[in-house]
Amino acid sequence: MDSQKRKLTTILAMDVVNYSKKMAVDDEGTLKQLSVCKKIIEKTIASAEGRIFNTAGDAFMIEFTSPVQAVNSAIKIQKEIHNLNKELREDKTLEFRIGINMGDVLIQEDNLFGDGVNVASRLESIAPPGRICISGSVYSLVSNNIKEKIYSKGSQKLKNINRPIDAYFIEIEEGSNVAKDFKVSQSKAGNKNIFLIGGVAASFFVILLVFVMFKDSNEINVNLNSIAISPITTASKEQEKINLAAGLTQDIAASLTRASKKLNIIKLNSADESIVNIAKKTGAKYLINGDIKEAGKNIRVTINLVDAENSNIVWTDKYDKTLEIDNLFTLQDEVVSNIIDALVGNGDILSKEVSKVGLTATAQNLDSYACINFTKNQFFPSFSFDYYNKAVECLEKSIIDDPQYAEAWQYYGYLLAWGYSIFEVYEQDILTKALEAVQEAIRLDSNYAMAYRTKAEIEFYAGNFEQMLKDGKKALEIAPNDLQIIGGIAYITGLSGWGCHSSEELKKKYNIDKKACYRLERGRELGVLAAKLDKVNSNLGDNFGQVAFYQDSQNWEKVLEVMEDTPVPFLWWWHHYMGCANHGLGNKDKAQNHFNKIAEILGDNTLEKMKKGMIIWHEMTVYEEMMPVYLEYGLK
């Protein structure tokens, strides 16, 4: 026990109130809203240098080095979600409970265990909906550092915690008495976050075993993009099951090889070697193994993705099937298809695992494969400027170290363009360099749909709308059902049509061409298509592709409808469209709230900063048309 790695840290636990009930009533709507809330959570904790170390459905476990950062982040998250809920129908809203504790924890790779984690989880379970519960250890350090009201709830006996814990509720809304009046029900303590509590005892012994196995071993040099495939095993002597095991092994290896040119797949001849020996011999970061068990004609196929450095299973799945001689190949294809989809398809388990390396490694220490996965799975979800700089730096290194890696060239060009349009750290001339990078990606892979989609976006920023349409068409021809491609082409096509409904004077002033109305309508059509494919609103392009059409034609009800469907409260653009729509519909108070939020996000010289963004996104006709509205609501 004494040899285990431990530390003192601050844990934030949070989950959705009545999540199961909401899922039973409207699972798609609930998942959409959870996705929106998740973006708020990820963006807030990234800015405060926190990290999510465990999730399960609607629950998040987050670590902070400072209790003040943890509490401030919790307050910010609750306030943003509270403000978001004000704009939605009651049945569309989600509320979170949050518990925060500072205590001693046990470290196992990226995960944390122990009393410090358990107390945070139990405090979360007694917190009022939409509010925060903190322990006495946190209260003593933050009470003089926050302006929100804090109410003592005395010592609480929490389930599975062997001592009373002093609990305090934080009120996030001025004038509200929710935190003050909320009564703790002892039956609530400990009902939630079972995934963190129930399995801790068993997990702890596994951790001990792994630690003893590896504490004296030599360091293993691993390649992040190398995966060893161990033969799928079966205890059966029947030839059909032996054939199935061999076929699954072969097909998994072949499918992963086809799925990514950067994966180095090492197919092992024997399943008998220990994981540590496999890692040392092959240098593989991950091992895929599994087995087939039978009960009569029923079989269970279990597949595991194992971190070869420490023998931890990072992903596992089971497939229960009925085996018949005449459906052997169909069954094999179905299982393999599910596995590949989980690992490198929409589940994207493998790249998410690899991307975690980027959180602790410097940009110069990330290899090309890890850099791409860091960019996709850490930068894009967080929108963190620090992660942006890290991604650009490692991509610059990747195209030098691995100049034949088309994906590295594509993302390098993409992020350079975003440096101009999103982060506004580059001038327009950076687009030339961005375009050259993406053209190199296309030279290396002429059927790379995402590269054409990115090229179309760069051409959009440059105002080359005809070329944008050609590149967008090519991307859609290559990947006609790819949500990311359709949504991306939707929003740049729609936004290139601003001014279609403007006065002749404004059209002349801003060189609005005769095809603007076609592009505006085409963007709306693609946005509608993408929205139908996007069951959880994971792609903002769906609705931003549509909003241009409705804003330009001043169809305020439709603007409100599509923007409410995908709330993005950290983007001033979202508040802009919501503010304009509410003003157009006569909802003055709501409009004022949104325009106030724009001023809060952009700070001083709000109108000048808005104008700069409008120029980049070819939206100056809107800027001039809506100027009286901006001034009416106090923007300066």
pLDDT digits (tens, 9 = 90+) for 43-63: 999 988 899 988 877 889 999
| pLDDT over threshold 90, residue 260 | no
User: In whole angstroms, how large is the CA radius of gyration of the chain?
Assistant: 27
Does residue 342 surpass a pLDDT of 70? no
Cα separation, 532 vs 535, whole angstroms? 7
What's the pLDDT band for 115 if we cut at 50, 70, 90?
confident
Q: What is the pLDDT of residue 234?
A: 87
Greater model confidence, 452 or 118: 452
Residue partners of 202: CB distance under 8 A and separation at least 6: none
Percentage of the chain exceeding pLDDT 70: 83
Q: Rounded to an integer, what distance in angstroms lies between the CA atom of residue 254 and that of residue 66?
A: 47
* Structural domains for the chain: 6-211 (3.30.70.1230), 223-348 (3.40.50.10070), 356-479 (1.25.40.10), 481-636 (1.25.40)
* % the chain with pLDDT above 90: 42
- Measured in degrees and rounded to the nearest 5, phi and psi for residue 13 equal -115, 135
Are 80 and 57 in contact by the 8 Å Cβ rule? The answer is: no
Which helix (H) or strand (E) element contains residue 134? Answer: strand 132-135
Q: Would you state the structure tokens that stand for residue 581, as one six-digit string?
A: 């729509």
Cα angle 449, 420, 522 (rounded to 5 degrees) comes to: 45
In tens, the pLDDT along 10-50 reads 999 999 988 877 877 888 888 889 989 999 999 999 988 89
Is pLDDT at 420 greater than 90 in this prediction?
yes
Lowest mean pLDDT among 164-173, 236-245, 475-484: 236-245
Mean pLDDT, the chain, as a whole number? Answer: 82
* Contact between residue 537 and residue 32 where contact means Cβ atoms under 8 Å apart: yes
The Cα 376–Cα 559 span in angstroms is: 29
The helix (H) or strand (E) run that includes residue 266 is strand 264-267
Mean pLDDT of 119-140: 92
The DSSP secondary structure of 560-629, one letter per residue, reads: HHHHHHS--TT-HHHHHHHHHHHHHTT-HHHHHHHHHHHHHHH-SSHHHHHHHHHHHTT-HHHHHHHHHH
* Cα angle 594-600-602, degrees, rounded to a multiple of 5: 105
- Measuring CA to CA, which residue among 485, 480, 483 is closest to residue 452? 485
**Mean predicted confidence (pLDDT) in 100-125:** 87
Q: What is the mean pLDDT of residues 449-477?
A: 96
Give residue 157's pLDDT.
Answer: 83
* Highest mean pLDDT (candidates 154-158, 196-200, 254-258, 442-446): 442-446
Cα 388 to the chain's mean position, in Å? Answer: 15
User: What pLDDT score was predicted for residue 76?
Assistant: 96
What's the half-sphere exposure (Cβ side, CA atoms, 13 Å) at 199?
Answer: 8
Is the Cβ–Cβ distance between 355 and 366 less than 8 Å?
A: no
Q: Enter the pTM of the model.
A: 0.57
pLDDT score recorded for residue 205: 31
Inter-residue long-range contacts of 379-387, CB under 8 Å, 24+ positions, other chains counted: 381/38, 381/39, 381/42, 382/42, 382/43, 382/46, 383/43, 383/46, 383/570, 384/43, 384/46, 384/47, 385/423, 386/46, 387/46
Q: Where are the alpha helices (DSSP H) in 345-384?
A: 349-355, 357-360, 368-374, 380-382
Q: Is the pLDDT of residue 347 over 80?
A: no
Which range among 132-136, 147-151, 533-537 shows the weakest confidence by mean pLDDT?
Answer: 533-537
Least reliable range by pLDDT among 137-141, 142-146, 243-247, 408-412: 243-247
Tell me phi and psi for residue 78, to 5 degrees.
Answer: -65, -40
Q: What is the mean pLDDT of residues 204-221?
A: 34
Whose CA is closest to 276, among 356, 212, 343? 212
Please work out, in degrees rounded to the nearest 5, the angle formed at the alpha carbon of residue 434 by the alpha carbons of 352 and 453. 60
Predicted confidence at residue 516, as pLDDT, reads 96
pLDDT at 26: 83
- What is the arithmetic mean of pLDDT over 248-271? 72
Q: Give the mean model confidence (pLDDT) for residues 193-215.
A: 33
Report pLDDT for 206. 32
- Under the banding of pLDDT at 50, 70 and 90, the label for residue 362 is low
Q: Is the pLDDT of residue 93 over 60?
A: yes
Residue 197 pLDDT:
33
Rounded CA gap, 202 and 623, in Å?
60
Note the pLDDT of residue 355: 53
Residues 305, 339: Cα–Cα separation, whole Å: 10
Phi, psi of 402 (to 5 degrees): -135, 70
Q: Contact at 8 Å (CB) between 340 and 254?
A: no
pLDDT at 359: 54
- At 1 the pLDDT is 40
* Rounded Cα gap, residues 517 and 295, in angstroms: 63
